Structure 1
Amino acid sequence: MTLELSGKNALVTGGTRGIGRAVVLALAGAGARVLTCSRSAGEPAESLQRELKALGDEHAVLQADVARSEDIDRLVAEAASRFGGLDVVVHNAGVISHVPFAELTEQEWHRVLDVNLTAAYLLVSRALPVLRDGASIVHIGSKVATVGVPLRSHYTAAKAGLIGLTRSMAKELGGRRIRVNVVAPGPVETEAEVPAEVVARYQKMIPLGRLGRPEEIAAAVRFLAGDGASFINGETLNVDGGI
């Protein structure tokens, strides 16, 4: 059976935990060759490498901090060396903190914006020379971008910025048939510790009565990465259970 992403090469940032891990495994499971990264070494990266090994020898997990432009340069260079070109780029790496706006420091503002938004610009600009015509770029955004959440003004600004960046990039890169889209998850179950009362509150807000699963976000990314989404460009796909 021919897999839907067979023959495609993918680069995914922040791919060893949660949504990123599910995206990496979904793309690899669909036949793509995947290079991903983690800011730190450890069991999540090692266990992902073992899972990918079972799917083929062409996948790789590197250590890189996407807040550092030199690390992004190294990631793209490694992808070019291994694969020769890229068909899929997914910016998933992100950081978040909960800080009242009146207490938000300039340092924390830049930390969150650098990883969630500036890294997306750096990643695509560096990858552009090795992106094949018809490639798909997917940014992992957030439902909060359009609704706002207290204590997360910096995070919300970054995710809202991704939508604007995506819309403009989609118009500029369309001549090469390169598509750029956002997948915006709602509340998702990951390994992160979330108080039970917060989970219960979200469950009441979501018509489906539950939080999302990383695999459900990954399925949306896999769809946008494939040829079945060849006329979807500049869009934000909310995967949020209708919250």
Structure 2
Amino acid sequence: MRKLENKTAIVTGGSRGIGANLCECLAAAGANVVVNYASNKNAADEVVFRIESAGGKAVAVQADVAQSADVTKLFDVAEETFGKVDILVNNAGVVHYKTIQDTTDEEFARLMQVNVNGAFYGMRKASVRLTDGGRVISISSSAARMFLPTYGPYCATKGAIEQLSRSLAKELGHRGITSNIVAPGPTETELFLGNNDEEKIDRMRKMAALGRLGKPEDMGPVVVFLASEDSGWITGQVIPVNGGTA
């Protein structure tokens, strides 16, 4: 069932991992998709190729979400290519696992610029460019509720995104626009696997009630639901998608 027929979605950080799967799931549900990438054009082009090979419509757009003008460009291209924007998925982000003591000014600034500023710029632009009845879905992390050492600076950015999303829900509700958060648990992505040793990965796996790490494809159906009319009475909420990890 193509719940998102004739809708247009922007997915930031859409070239790899969870973002790539979200792009393909939204397209499979009927949406036209703007696949945002920061630097990996080949990966973004591959996502577009898979979508188009399955009969969908997509375009890859380079943009650094830490730059306000680049976020504006995403909306401009979406409207020029597909006529409108109905759905924004704030997925782009960077990770950082260090104690608060060991985190440098530059590392913390980078986390804030990409994770928080990027989501803020997207929400601000969505406030004036999204169609009535539109959807804003922001990706947080279940780690924000797990009180893990070395996760503090990263989780601080996710907490900020969640509060922005809740405020946006109140601000745009009169237009029928919803704003929700999806909070994955530990997920088999390049970012997670490449930034943790095997011992830590195994420990995270065992924390899940369902006994495994998440997969990018576990997130897609939830995001499609939140992007569809079926979720019209849900807004300002955090939806954990973590297999019972937290």
The TM-score with structure 1 as length reference comes to 0.95
Give how far 1:118 is off.
1.4
Q: Paired residue for 2:130?
A: 131
Q: What fraction of aligned residue pairs are identical, expressed as a percent?
A: 38
Q: Quick check: 1:149–1:156 contact (8 Å CA) kept in 2?
A: no
Instruction: From 205, 208, 213, give the equivalent of 1:206.
Output: 208
Write out aligned runs for 1:51-130 (5 A). 51-56=50-55, 58-130=57-129
Distance 1:148 1:118 in 2: 23
The TM-score with structure 2 as length reference comes to 0.94
Q: Quick check: 1:80–1:130 contact (8 Å CA) kept in 2?
A: no
Q: Paired residue for 1:237?
A: 239
Unaligned runs of 5+ in 2: none
Unaligned runs of 5+ in 1: none
Q: Paired residue for 1:183?
A: 182
Give how far 1:57 is off.
6.3
Total equivalences in the alignment: 242
Give how far 1:146 is off.
2.1
Instruction: From 214, 223, 226, give the equivalent of 1:224.
Output: 226
Distance 1:159 1:116 in 2: 7
Give how far 1:181 is off.
0.2
Q: Quick check: 1:146–1:160 contact (8 Å CA) kept in 2?
A: no
RMSD: 1.4
Deviation sequence 1:86-114 (CA, Å, 0-9, x none): 11100000001122211222221111011
Secondary structure of the residue aligned to 2:101 is: helix
Distance 2:101 2:30 in 1: 48
Letter of the 2:177 counterpart? I
Q: Quick check: 2:37–2:62 contact (8 Å CA) kept in 1?
A: yes
Distance 1:23 1:42 in 2: 17
Distance 1:152 1:242 in 2: 19
Give how far 1:152 is off.
2.3
Distance 1:154 1:118 in 2: 14
Distance 1:149 1:208 in 2: 20
